[in-house]
Amino acid sequence: MNVLTRYIVKEILKSAFIAQLLLLTLFNLFTLSDELDDIGKGSYGLTEVFYFLALTSPTVFYELMPASALLGSLFALGNMGNYRELIAMRAAGLPVFGIIKSVMLAGMLLATTAVLVGEFVAPSAEEKAQLIKVTSQNQQVMLKTRYGLWLREERQFINVRQVEENGDLADISIYEVDGQQHLYRSIHAERAQFLGNQQWQLHNVKQSDISPEQMRSSTENERVWKSSIAPDLLKIVVVNPDNLSLYDLAMYVKFLKDNQQKSHTFEMALWGRIVNPLVIFVMLLVSTPFVIGVRRGINVGARILIGAVIGMGFNIFDITVGHIGLIYDLNPPLMAFIPSLTVLAITLLTIKRLQ
C-alpha cells in the first residue's frame, strides 16, 4: 500500500467513523424519546431504557454502515477536492481508477467490521434487549430454554413449547403449587388463543389434580384461562430475522422448506443480509464520480444533504423492490440484488464518462 492509498483509506475510515457516531447518536436519541413514554410500565425504568439502547445499538450500527460509508466518503473526498489534493494526486500520476481502488479498500475494512458486528454481536444483543424490555413491562419471571419458554405468575409455572406468528400458543403446560411449594395441579393444553381482557381460550385440555391420597384426571374440549400474560410478552420467542445470524437464517429457511412452510419472508431477510456488504461498496463507489466530477467549493452542509438524498433514495428504492418481491412472491436473490446492481451500473457508466 503506497502513501497516497494509505492516506485516502485513513481519511475515509476516519470520516465514516464520525458519520457512524453521529448517526448512531441521532437514532438512539429518537429511540430514547420513544422509550421514555413506556417508563412506569411494570418495572421498566430509566436503567432498563439505557440497557435497551445499549443492546440495540449493534443492530443499528450494522444497518447504518452503508449510510455512514457514503457520508464519510463524500466528506473525505470532498475535502480533498476542495483543497486540490485530488488534482495533485492525479497530476502525480494517480488515475481515477487508483482513487477508486483506495476507496474500495476502505470499503473492505468497513464491510468486514459490519459483518463481524452484524453476525456475532447484533443478533444476541437484540434478543437480550427485547427480553429486558418485555419482561420488565409485564413483570413476569421468564426463562427461554431449548425446552420452550418458562414463565412464572404467582403460584403458576407455565411452559410454552411453541409460539406462532399470530400470537397463538401450542403445547402449553401449567403447573400450580400451594403455599408450601408442593405441586397440586397440572394442566396441559394443545393450543391457546388470546381473547383479550387477560383471558386465553385453551383447547383440548387435560388436567391432573395431585394430593397425598390420590390423583384425579379430567379432560375438556375448551376452557377459559385467566392470566396476565399478554401476547406481547411472548412475541420475543417468535423467530425474528433481526435476532438471527446469517447461518441461523439459512438453517431456519432450510427448516421451513423441509417442512413445507412459507419461507419467503426469511429468504428475503437472508439475501438482504448477504447483499448488505455489497451495498457498502456501492455507496462508496457512488461518492467517487460525484466528488471528482462536481465543481470544487461545495461546503460540508451541502455534502451531507447530498449524501442524505442519495442514501434515502436508495433506501426507498430498496424497500419498494423488497415489498414488491414479497407481494408477488418473486425470486428473493433477484429482488435483493436489483437495487444495488442498478445503482452500481449507473455509477460505473458515470465513472466511464469521467475517464
For the chain, the domains span 3-130+241-354, 141-228
Per-residue pLDDT at 302 = 73
CATH of 141-228, one of 1.10.240.10, 2.60.450.10, 3.30.70.1450, 3.90.550.10: 2.60.450.10
What global pTM score does this model have? 0.77
pLDDT at 220: 93
Residue 50: how many other CB atoms lie within 10 Å: 13
Is 90 exceeded by the pLDDT of residue 49? Answer: yes
User: pLDDT (tens digit, 9 = 90+) per residue, 237-266?
Assistant: 566 777 788 888 888 888 778 867 778 888
Residue 141 CB: number of other CB atoms within 10 A?
10
**Average pLDDT, integer, range 49-72:** 94
CA distance 18 to 25: 11
Q: pLDDT category, 300, cuts 50, 70, 90?
A: low
Question: SS3 for 41?
Answer: coil
The closest alpha carbon to 5, from 88, 99, 77, belongs to: 99
Residue carrying the nine cell digits 419467503:
264
Q: What's the CA gap between 155 and 225, in Å, rounded?
A: 14
Q: In angstroms, rounded to a whole number, what is the distance separating the alpha carbons of residues 35 and 44?
A: 10
| Tens digit of each residue's pLDDT (9 = 90 or more) over 89-135 | 888 888 888 888 999 999 999 999 999 999 999 988 988 888 788 77
Q: What is the pLDDT of residue 305?
A: 77
pLDDT given for residue 106 in this prediction: 95
Percent of the chain with pLDDT over 70: 90
Give yes or no for residue 296 having a pLDDT over 60.
no
> If you ran DSSP here, which 8-state letter would residue 236 be given?
G
Q: How far is 160 from 172, CA to CA, in rounded Å? A: 5
